[in-house]
Structure 1
Amino acid sequence: MTEHPIFDNMTDYTRGLDLTQLLSSGILNNMTCLEHAPQLTRAIVSKVIVLAVIAILSFVGNVATIYSIAINRKKQQTWSAIYTLILHLAIADLFVTVFCIGGEALWSYTVAWIFGNVACKLFKFVQVFSLYLSTFMLVLIGVDRYFAIRYPMKGVITPERCWKFVVLAWILSLVLATPQDKILHRIQLT
């Protein structure tokens, strides 16, 4: 019987191997893991089920919102700032649904990250980006509603100005999520 090395990071050990090779070789069955390594327990399966249900409901709701806004856009000649903000909030929430909620469910179920180091970094970047974007869209909606209530007759936030704020939110989210790549690069085990 051969002794298997101990790894802090499953990605480092399995680099270059695909999932079918790992399963057929028995490496995953005979590997020595650290004590803090996650395990697929009944509680984790329950967590995965709850997250999957939330992700499905959120996905359907956000797609329905985008569809409804698109249909209303075709019917109406005017376009208010709030439609733009809600549309982009629904898009941001789709990112959160897929990458944060759905991704966490998948990651919890597989117990280990099996998609490689580059995919891990990209995945974490998109998670942070989507959270920033969703938060910024909520802030913009709050600011828009404040001005609509405070100055109801002035139309302070026009659709053109709103688009500038939306673009700024996307760019700011991208910029603020970029350090995630640098942080993950420094903590990568060699």
Structure 2
Amino acid sequence: MRLCRRCQDQGYLAQALPVVSPVLHEGLIGGLMVIGQAPGLRSQQRGIPFGGPGGRILQSWLEQAGFPPGYLHQHAYLSSLTRCYPGPAPRGQGDRRPSPQELALCRPFLEAELSLLRPRVVLLVGVMAIEAFWGKVKLEEIIGTGRLEDTRRWLPLPHPSGVSRWLNTPRHREQLQRALALLADWRRELGL
């Protein structure tokens, strides 16, 4: 992954600088995997997936589900649909959404990670990550639900970004709390 320059070679990115997950350490295989859209600017600058404000919010959600402080970066395997910071959004709010072509170029890396790590729980963070595995859906219909496939559990979560306005609605915050309660149940059941 560190050597990949596919998006750069195809002209999607001026410079490919992939942010890759940390070196595997005990506890990652068969545990919790988090899949987001793409690295943000702070993640790119720091070389740490979910290394900005969204990562802090996601960690707080994990803590609400009973995971200890620091779990996100110490015990979860962090991944994304694409590996390089896509640049700012054209309208200046947030990051640019990777194109379907960019998603396709990175998908083999993600499939290999899922196959090698065999996570028991996968958190799909944000609309793009959810739709990559669930198909076209509305967050209102899916947040607060989970899915079991073979031995893997999938949990969709809204994007933990200050740019996202989805959580500004009380009903949506209630849906997030249902999702975190489900994650807490899975944590206890699976011993995560």
The TM-score normalised by the length of structure 2 is 0.24
Name the one with the larger strand percent.
Answer: 2
The TM-score normalised by the length of structure 1 is 0.25
Instruction: Point out the structure with max Rg over C-alpha.
Output: 1
Name the one with the larger helix percent.
Answer: 1
